[in-house]
Amino acid sequence: MWTVVAKALLAGAMIAAIAEIGRRLPATAAIVASLPLVSVLGMIFLWHARPDAENMAVHAEATFWYVLPSLPMFLLIPVMLRAGANFWVALAAGCVLTVGLYLLMMNVGPKFGLRL
């Protein structure tokens, strides 16, 4: 139970740090946010729980492929904001786009031999 709490606190601390950095240095916060910290920590915790090379390889490869559908959100949101859209509308549109692209990736990826 304590390990779950520790993981949650660590994730919360990372988000808080990014938000605090972003108030003063938005580009620096973007760099920190774009680092695969969550993925690396997730792999460390997964390896600790189940040290299986093939399982880790499948996880790491699937993570790569699932990052791709999330990237267009980071282009749509600034375009919408600069066009005068409300922040919450732009954020919602970006999230909807990402979910749609995830679903597309889940359905199309295996047809191209991707292990998702």
Domain boundaries, the chain: 53-116
Confidence band for 40, pLDDT divided at 50, 70 and 90: very high
pTM value? 0.80
So what's the pLDDT on residue 114? 87
Nearest 10 degrees: Cα torsion 78, 82, 88, 91: -20
Q: What is the pLDDT of residues 57-96, one digit of tens each?
A: 999 999 999 999 999 999 999 999 999 999 999 999 999 9
Compute the distance between CA of residue 96 and CA of residue 38 in angstroms, rounded to an integer.
22
So what's the pLDDT on residue 2? 85
Q: What is the DSSP string of 26-82?
A: HHHHHHHHHSTHHHHHHHHHHHHH---HHHHHHHHHHHHHHHGGGTTHHHHHHHHHH
Confidence band for 1, pLDDT divided at 50, 70 and 90: confident
